[in-house]
Structure 1
Amino acid sequence: MDKIVKSIASSGYFRAFVLDCTETVRTAQEKHQTQASSTVALGRTLIANQILAANQKGDSKVTVKVIGDSSFGHIISVANSKGEVKGYIQNKGVDIKKTATGEVLVGPFMGNGHFVTIVDYGTGNPYTSTTPLISGEIGEDLAYYLTESEQTPSAVGLNVLLDKEDKVQVAGGFMLQVLPGAPEHEITRYEERIQKMPAISSLLASEDHISALLDAIYGEDDYKLLDESPLSFHCDCSKERFEQALITLPKTDLSEMKEEDQGAEINCQFCGTTYYFTENDLEKLINDKA
């Protein structure tokens, strides 16, 4: 089962989240049938959003939009404070690897654009923040957003590793943040440790990558585990929700679907589920509008 583990240094100067999102990203790949690069780009975005949502309380929802002008197009994700996330990528078929190593490439094909976050607290006044994409690698873009927009110096590592058949093998990551009052020499010490830590891909490849990530972040420093909670890919779409969308259409449009198309077919972008509305379903909606 996927999970996020929250921790804090015993000094109280730093906190870290570490995540196992393997099943989450694997489900997304299966639902959207993404190719290698698209799988990694979408997966990293889902992980980034789960990190952001883990900072929220109550029934808040966080929407992340990675808006690039190159091969991937836009990547959209929505997560809530319960650990549930959904998302999709505009171009599912990007599959570009380094010839020599077979490494899946992401950043160079995101292009220029923006990292947009929308936090909906359920009050009707969502908060939106936008920062530029600095690399397209998603983790670096998230760290830049946290540092610039939320004024919280952060280090972030995210990745999705694929097997020889380009299926999701493991996915996860970490976020380390400096807390108020941290002395400069302690910040420098952690910065040096992060710079020297093994590549995120090698840590994720460990047998227990949650422990490997925590050990790499804290080194010999003591820390406390604060919380562990589940994560999952979950889409809250339903036929009833799409029915509510259809009923907002003019009667002429509904009648045209009924008479000319003999029904309607609606596909959920976030999870790929298709909902069918028969002629009788549409007739009922037409009568309800009347």
Structure 2
Amino acid sequence: MTTTPRDYLVRATALDERVRAFAINATGVVRELQRRHDTHPAVTAALGRTAMGALLLSAATLKEEEQVLTIDVRGDGPVRRILATANGRGLVGNPHAHAESRNGKLNVGGVVGTEGYLAVTRDLGMRETYRGMVELVSGEIGEDLAYYMAKSEQTPSAVGIGVFVLPDLSVEAAGGYLVQLLPGLSDDEIGAIEQRIAALPHPTALLREGATPEQILERIFPEGFTFGDSQPVSFHCPCSRERFESAIVSLGPDEVRRIIEEEEQPFTEVVCHFCNQAYHFSPDQMNAILDAAR
């Protein structure tokens, strides 16, 4: 039986805080996403990369825990849409999408597509949200996120994220890194970082060898870095029966009665698209919910 490693994200700085770096092991998160959505391999990799991208970007750009970051990818590939939030949850338009492998590797760009956009939305807990959007570069997610950071955030960044899927569709490893280059770096310093990142094995190769997020950063910054902190990451969906009860109330009495009359089953099933958790409401329960709201 495959054991689940500890899922967590680390923050660090290097070169007198002129570089910010983040690394993550999210194997358990992506396993849970695959299980809940029954995704096929290339879609598992696409969804997993997007979810990890949301976690890394959230760590890099948000300051408060109550602030929420969402990545929305819409391409012309068969998966159609990928949506992920920085609490490890996500959804896909077509979980069973497929694209022929490329050079023996999962063809993430093939299921996502190369025409479309990647949007990042930040809910800062205020009345308005902030949204940035860029066209897709490759559909491989990591390159698209790096392009977003450079164009929308004006922060040159390197993003390396990956998911290793076994033949039985389960996830063996998922993780990666985000490196942000801040003002003040010399061309030589930038070149040295770029060379080390280019020579770095794929993130999942490192994780499968047992490397930790800290050890991934050590490969990128052999001269040393300053460790910031670490935080656990996990799949979390805030849906609940109470939230769906509120949704039933919002439909209004006439619509609820229509649903009850047309329902062929002894209950109405409501499913959360993010986690596929099903909630069942009998006609008596739905009527009671409406009565309590009056």
| TM-score tier after normalising by the smaller chain length | over 0.9
Q: In structure 2, how many angstroms separate the alpha carbons of the residues matched to 1:180 and 1:99?
A: 37
TM-score of the superposed pair, with normalisation by structure 2:
0.91
- Given candidates 125, 138, 148, the residue that maps to 1:122 is 125
- Given candidates 113, 131, 135, the residue that maps to 1:132 is 135
The secondary structure found in structure 1 opposite 2:127 is: coil
Superposition CA RMSD, Å: 1.7
Contact 2:56 2:178 survives alignment (8 Å)? yes
Structure 1 residue 240, shift from structure 2 partner: 0.8
Q: Specify the alignment match of 2:232 in structure 1.
A: 230
Q: In structure 1, how many angstroms separate the alpha carbons of the residues matched to 2:177 and 2:13?
A: 13
Q: In structure 2, how many angstroms separate the alpha carbons of the residues matched to 1:212 and 1:164?
A: 28
User: What code does the residue aligned with 2:53 have?
Assistant: A
Q: Specify the alignment match of 2:180 in structure 1.
A: 177
More deviation in 203-212 or 19-28?
203-212
Q: Specify the alignment match of 1:286 in structure 2.
A: 290
Structure 1 residue 265, shift from structure 2 partner: 1.1
Deviations 1:72-129 (A, max 9, x none): 11101122xxxx221111111024443873x221112212111111100111110011
Q: Specify the alignment match of 2:244 in structure 1.
A: 242
Q: Specify the alignment match of 1:260 in structure 2.
A: 262
Deviations 1:255-275 (A, max 9, x none): 112233254211000000001
Q: In structure 1, how many angstroms separate the alpha carbons of the residues matched to 2:52 and 2:203?
A: 14
Q: In structure 2, how many angstroms separate the alpha carbons of the residues matched to 1:160 and 1:199?
A: 10
Q: What are the within-5 Å matches in structure 2 for residues 2-17 of structure 1?
A: 2-17=7-22
Q: In structure 1, how many angstroms separate the alpha carbons of the residues matched to 2:129 and 2:197?
A: 34
Contact 1:78 1:85 survives alignment (8 Å)? yes
Deviations 1:52-89 (A, max 9, x none): 1113122100111011122111101122xxxx221111
Unaligned runs of 5+ in 1: none
Contact 2:80 2:92 survives alignment (8 Å)? yes
Q: What are the within-5 Å matches in structure 2 for residues 32-71 of structure 1?
A: 32-55=37-60, 56-58=62-64, 59-71=66-78
Structure 1 residue 210, shift from structure 2 partner: 2.2
Structure 1 residue 197, shift from structure 2 partner: 2.3
Contact 1:258 1:283 survives alignment (8 Å)? no
Q: Provide closer, same or farther for how the CA distance between residues 74 and 100 of structure 1 changes in structure 2, counting only shifts above 3 A.
A: closer
Structure 1 residue 33, shift from structure 2 partner: 1.1
Contact 1:206 1:212 survives alignment (8 Å)? no
The secondary structure found in structure 2 opposite 1:233 is: coil
Are residue 92 (structure 1) and residue 99 (structure 2) matched?
no
Q: Provide closer, same or farther for how the CA distance between residues 133 and 273 of structure 1 changes in structure 2, counting only shifts above 3 A.
A: same
Are residue 274 (structure 1) and residue 281 (structure 2) matched?
no
Q: Provide closer, same or farther for how the CA distance between residues 100 and 64 of structure 1 changes in structure 2, counting only shifts above 3 A.
A: closer
Q: Provide closer, same or farther for how the CA distance between residues 213 and 35 of structure 1 changes in structure 2, counting only shifts above 3 A.
A: same
Contact 1:36 1:96 survives alignment (8 Å)? no
Q: Specify the alignment match of 1:202 in structure 2.
A: 205
More deviation in 180-189 or 60-69?
180-189
Contact 2:43 2:111 survives alignment (8 Å)? no
Q: In structure 1, how many angstroms separate the alpha carbons of the residues matched to 2:262 and 2:99?
A: 42
Aligned residues: 284
Q: In structure 2, how many angstroms separate the alpha carbons of the residues matched to 1:255 and 1:211?
A: 56
The secondary structure found in structure 1 opposite 2:231 is: strand
Unaligned runs of 5+ in 2: 1-5
